[in-house]
Amino acid sequence: MRDDDGGSAVLRMRGVRRVFAGGAGVLGIDLWVRPGEIHALVGLNGAGKTTLMRLALGMLRPQAGAVELDGVPLHRVPPAAWAAVGALIENPLAYPELDGATNLSLAARLHGVAAEKVPATVHAALAELDLVRYAKVRARRMSLGNRQRLGLAAALQHHPRLVVLDEPTNALDPRGVILVREALRRRASQGAAVLVSSHHLDEVARVAHRISVVSEGRVVGSLDPHGVDLERAFFAMVHDDAVARHASTAGVQL
């Protein structure tokens, strides 16, 4: 599969639409993520970022359009292919009565890591996100930030080809933010395709190769990660789109 810029996309969404009661949702979005690329989605709360990521992972089915993984429609993707995907959507999945190392061991096995490689995989994941001291601590006793890092470790430890993370730096302290930033750069340098959402423009600009702006269920433009005054550009883009849509709607009503 070739994307619009000539690269081979791991994840591709074509005209994807999913609307909920009340009108919120995703309204026909095209999106792709290439190997070695970090593609960031930014938008106000309720813009549709999480819905879009759920659609990308098959957690929701589109009412229109198509989602493809390595050129294969999601409903035809074999179960084994999902072992090469790592995701964290909203809340990290961790068994509260199990300690950090055991949670990671289970996640590794579920993602197809061979039994004999699990100990080394878990050790590396604990070290990468500075969780070694919590290896024997039950997840329910961890702070929100440490549970978030545990969830991120579970999503990244098997070195997936596709990484999908929704607001990954939520609840993290500055040290945790830096660790996640480095982990994402590391995965991209190894060839992973990374899709990440955030409302922290300054943070995603440090790691993203592309930034797409989502507003009211649509991609309304893109931002240059190296641009000046990204916040001003972001809010201007969202505002101008809202004004244009209001004018268009008023014109139709007239």
Between residues 87 and 203, which one has the greater pLDDT? Answer: 87
Q: What is the pLDDT of residues 174-222, one digit of tens each?
A: 999 999 999 999 999 999 999 999 888 888 999 999 999 999 999 999 9
Q: What is the pLDDT of residues 139-173, one digit of tens each?
A: 999 999 999 999 999 999 999 999 999 999 989 99
Specify whether the CB–CB gap between 170 and 121 falls below 8 A: no
Specify whether the CB–CB gap between 165 and 14 falls below 8 A: no
CATH fold, domain 11-253, is Rossmann fold (3.40.50)
Is residue 3's pLDDT more than 60? no
Please, how many CA atoms are within 13 Å of residue 232, restricted to the half-sphere of its CB? 3
Structure letter (DSSP) for residue 46: T
DSSP string computed for 181-241: HHHHHHHHHTT-EEEEEES-HHHHTTT-SEEEEEETTEEEEEE-TT-S-HHHHHHHHHHHH
Q: Which amino acid is at 103?
A: N
Signed CA dihedral, 40, 182, 9, 16: sign only: negative
Q: What is the pLDDT of residues 18-56, one digit of tens each?
A: 999 988 899 999 999 999 999 999 999 889 999 999 999
Which residues, in sequence order, are bridge partners of residue 212?
Answer: 41, 222
What value does the mean pLDDT take over residues 98-111? 97
